[in-house]
A = this chain, B = another copy of it.
Amino acid sequence: MKAVILAAGKGERLSQGEDKSKPKPLIPLLGLSLIERAILSVKKGGIYDFVIVVGYRSEEVVKYVEEKQKRLGVNLDFVDNEEWKKGNGVSVLKAREKLKDENFVLLMCDHVFDLSILKELLEYAKNRGDKCVLCVDKPENVFDLEDATKILLERNKPKAIGKGIKNYNAVDCGLFYCTPAIFNALVEEIGKGKYELSDAVQCLIDSDNLEVFDVHGRFWCDIDTQESLKYAKNKMLKSLEKPTDGIISRYINRKFSTKIFTPLILKIYKEVTPNQVSLLSFGVAVISALLFLLCHPVIGGFLIQLSSILDGCDGEIARLKNMSTGIGGFIDAILDRYADAIILLGMFYYLMVTKIFDPLAVIFISSLAIIGSLMVSYTAARAIADLNYRHRGNRDFRLFILFIGGVLSYIHPVSVFFSMVIIALMTNITVMWRTVISWKMFRE
């Protein structure tokens, strides 16, 4: 199946802001231009062939997207709609020649949406015969209701569509599953001088050729203004908080990473990859260990916490840029484990060098802390591999304890020793606990 992306409009209101110089499809949102984001979102839904209808400053848009094509990993076909000023219905019709009577997905490059919406739409649209399916949402979920295309539903059947209709109970999310029926409707309406897509959709409604799919309040946003861009940004950053986040992640790390570090990193270097951020977090952990080694445990402690926060950013950037991959998760995990071990090794040396504790006790506690930290993660990985079971991680909490241990050494170095004792106990007990509950759950 192919996807048609409309990227022909000027987007005047949006371009009035800081990104005046850019055509709308090229405006960046959290590390991806709108057109890249649209392509990657659809790609995650399993579609690799695209027809992109360009119009306003088309050469610039085509050049930009073609440069990214290899990285995007999709097949692109461009259609230049010189009549883009007339209305978006014309743009859709221009794509007809590229589609050979196939069904296709239709979306606007200025709409961002949760990845699950497309997947469920495709699932829903199977076996609907020749009918087109339009994604709809409740009016109260829309950021800019005034500008939205409204729909009137009666018993879940669409009755009317249009920006100006007074009586409505849903809005159009800008994501369609189309059959070739749409082209007949477009030809008919354009013949009447009605150039908007919604005119053709009204025609589909009249001939009972349209169904709707309720997105149930999942995130989507039509980005038409600076305000909606900002709204989408905040919503997307907010969505990075995971229900599986540990307590320190939820109340501390995610606040810093989603509100400060991730947007900052993307602002400084838009092309950043998640792996680069993983390396940054690892580098900070190594510096922290060196600071412990050189007997600067307070700064070392702060850097542990910084590394812990940055460790959230790689995954956030991966999700924001639709770049989450198995290999990325794998490399991040390996780096995290080395970071854990190296931090503990730095603290170990610090305790040996301060000479206020019995060296054999320090060796014992530090080794147990290193072993336990790695074993907690090992148990989690094996539980997935052997039992297909996911344990909740607690790296955020472990690093937080070490951070506190480091910082409190300002008062007395014993705090470092105590934080290691806590880690040594906590981690190894966690492993035992996981082994016991796994046994109870999975023995045959």
Contacts and interface: CB of A to CB of B under 8 A. Distances in A.
B385 A443 contact: no
A330 B386 contact: yes
Contact of A331 (B329, B359, B363, B439): B439
A442 B325 CA distance: 9
Interface stretch (A121-129, A259-267, A369-377): A369-377
A352 B341 contact: no
A444 interface: yes
Contact of A382 (B334, B367, B370): B334
Contacts of A366: 367
Contacts of A326: 386-387, 442
Contacts of A333: 378, 382, 386
Interface of A: 73, 325-327, 329-331, 333-334, 337-338, 341, 345, 348-349, 352, 359-360, 363, 366-367, 370-371, 374-375, 377-379, 381-387, 431, 435, 438-439, 442-444
Contacts of A443: 325, 327
21 contacts: A325-B442, A326-B387, A327-B438, A327-B439, A329-B386, A330-B442, A331-B438, A333-B386, A334-B378, A334-B382, A337-B375, A337-B378, A341-B367, A352-B359, A359-B359, A366-B367, A370-B370, A371-B374, A374-B374, A377-B378, A385-B385
**Secondary structure at chain A's binding surface: helix, strand, loop or mixed?**
helix
A371 B334 contact: no
Contacts of A375: 334, 337-338, 341, 374
Nearest to A383: B330
Contact of A378 (B73, B327, B378, B386): B378
A338 B381 contact: no
A112 B342 CA distance: 53
A385 B379 CA distance: 12
A387 B435 CA distance: 24
A319 to B, nearest CB: 15
Contacts of A383: 330
Given A326-B442, A327-B444, 10 more contacts: A73-B444, A327-B442, A329-B386, A330-B438, A331-B438, A334-B382, A341-B371, A345-B371, A370-B370, A384-B384
Contact of A385 (B337, B345, B381): B381
A349 B368 CA distance: 13
Nearest to A434: B334
Contacts of A371: 338, 341, 345, 370, 374
A205 B379 CA distance: 56
Contacts of A379: 334
B367 A348 contact: yes
Given A374-B375, A385-B381, A444-B325, A435 B331 contact: yes
A371 B339 CA distance: 11
Contacts of A363: 348-349, 352, 363
A115 B421 CA distance: 49
